[in-house]
Chain A
């Protein structure tokens, strides 16, 4: 009786592990495969049946993609837009995050609710009118206007993540600093900020990737100064397979790195202020 339940438990355990691995494969294998395609020789892309290994490993396809017209320029555009978004959303959002974390004031919960509810707004309904407005104000088709839109998208996340990060810095550290000669701002600068830095870095990383990946607003708000996703989308149906595969891989590569760093703060993205 004893051994059979132990065996059953071991078997159940093995099954669970197996399932976990299976699901992991479901996530990883497609990425692996597109990586294989992206790093095969150009002609190899058309071969059938497809090899599951790049043989030989070649950067030809990638280079073809990168050298295609507009790709490097749009990649640079994407980076610029993402950087501006990052800076803007941190400068605007981090103070709000600090306020939510440290102060008790009337309207705090309503503000939190407002922030959380903005995530429910379809990007479609935001970007179309803004496109019309930007055209009217001669701000259309620039990295800055797209960055403004992306900042609006990223702001709720930045506020929620930073509020969580600041809340995790014990309040009495700042109070101790204030008894030792700091005013509120100096205490923030010397104590809260250095200790919150890792979390803030994760928030900025998240903002960067959000902007890098965004497609709809990018394709509506830019014409000549396309970002990478906008460019790839518009030429997609005319582009040859090597272009698509290399482009796809190039676009998702940052995500692999990004997830490594933001793991710890995953649960703060959805408005939960952790203890």
Chain B
């Protein structure tokens, strides 16, 4: 075969295993999940599983908590991530060290993060020790009781913020690095304060990165489950945790699949919302 022919087909040959693998392990399960969720025993279509899912007593709280978690976590994380990203880019000495430290949580699993913050918030935990030591408490406060859903949620939010902010930070740092520093220098020359610079120059130019990070983080947030179990035990339930429960404890893969489909739908809806809400008109892009 001539060199030219080889040159043309080689890339496709190299790509083939990946394409096949991705089709089998992404396309197929997705289709199969829909099939599981909507198929009845006799082979026809049914909404029975979906109905079971929605009518379950734990569904509404799980749904509410998941949405609430996302609504709180996303702004918190993004503010934190932006601060971290700006700090890393601020040309400080040791910025390499700071970057390493801020990125450590990237490699920490949900479960480990949950256990860490459990250790902080538990009755005989570090937070209580600190507060007692500072004289703000006489005896340990039970943060993690099942009645205190507010505090439970707070602890879960902290744990997730602690763990997953690094992902957002890395995306933002990459975006910041692609902003030519002449723009910021021009802003300086024209008398902009720090607040001005961030709000009027950096954020608008960071829009594409923000969009990517938001989409990614929200989709990942819909799948949070182990951290809630580790921190709050049975006190809080989330959609992904319910999916697991229906599969494992109740042995009902169909309802579990319904949860999966719901999560997928919510992910798609939020992605579309972000894409629409944060779209950068062509004329305004870099």
Which residues of A are interface residues toward B (Cβ below 8 A)? 16-17, 19-20, 23-24, 26-28, 30-31, 33-34, 37, 46-50, 52, 91-93, 95-96, 98-99, 102-103, 105, 108, 111, 114-115, 118-133, 148-149, 151-152, 155-156, 159, 184, 209, 212-216, 219-220, 229, 232-233, 236-237, 241, 244-245, 247-249, 251-252, 254-256, 258-260, 263, 266-267, 269-270, 272
Contact = CB atoms under 8 A, between A and B. Distances in A.
Q: Kindly state the interface size class of chain B when it binds its partner.
A: 35 or more
A149 B115 CA distance: 25
B25 A148 contact: yes
30 contacts: A16-B87, A20-B98, A23-B102, A24-B98, A26-B162, A30-B117, A34-B116, A34-B119, A50-B124, A91-B17, A99-B10, A121-B26, A125-B29, A125-B33, A128-B36, A128-B243, A151-B25, A155-B21, A159-B18, A213-B110, A215-B225, A216-B244, A236-B230, A251-B109, A255-B105, A266-B103, A267-B170, A267-B177, A270-B170, A272-B174
B116 A30 contact: yes
Contacts of B261: 125
Majority-rule SS of B interface residues: helix
B259 interface: yes
Contacts of B128: 48-49
B45 interface: no
A11 B131 CA distance: 31
A255 B107 contact: yes
Contacts of A119: 216
A118 B162 contact: no
A157 to B, nearest CB: 12
B260 A124 contact: yes
Given A27-B162, A213-B110, 16 more contacts: A19-B83, A23-B84, A23-B87, A24-B98, A34-B119, A99-B11, A120-B267, A123-B223, A124-B223, A124-B240, A152-B26, A215-B110, A236-B229, A237-B234, A252-B113, A256-B107
Contacts, number: 268
B16 to A, nearest CB: 9
Q: What are the 8 A-B residue pairs with the smallest beta carbon separation, nearest first? A: A255-B107, A248-B115, A213-B109, A152-B25, A129-B32, A103-B11, A99-B14, A49-B129
A129 B174 contact: no
Contact of B271 (A120, A132, A216, A229): A120
A123 to B, nearest CB: 6
A123 B244 CA distance: 12
B215 interface: yes
Given A31-B116, A92-B21, A259 B107 contact: yes
Majority-rule SS of A interface residues: helix
Interface in B50-105: 83-84, 87, 90, 92, 96, 98-105
A129 B108 contact: no
B11 A105 contact: yes
Contacts of B8: 105
B92 A122 contact: no
Nearest to B132: A49
Contacts of A272: 174
A219 B162 contact: no
B248 interface: yes
B277 interface: no
Interface in B107-146: 107-113, 115-120, 122, 124-126, 128-129, 132-133, 140
B104 A255 contact: yes
Interface centre among A124, A129, A248 (most CB of B within 10 A): A124
Contact of A16 (B18, B90, B125, B162): B90
Contacts of B15: 95-96, 99, 111
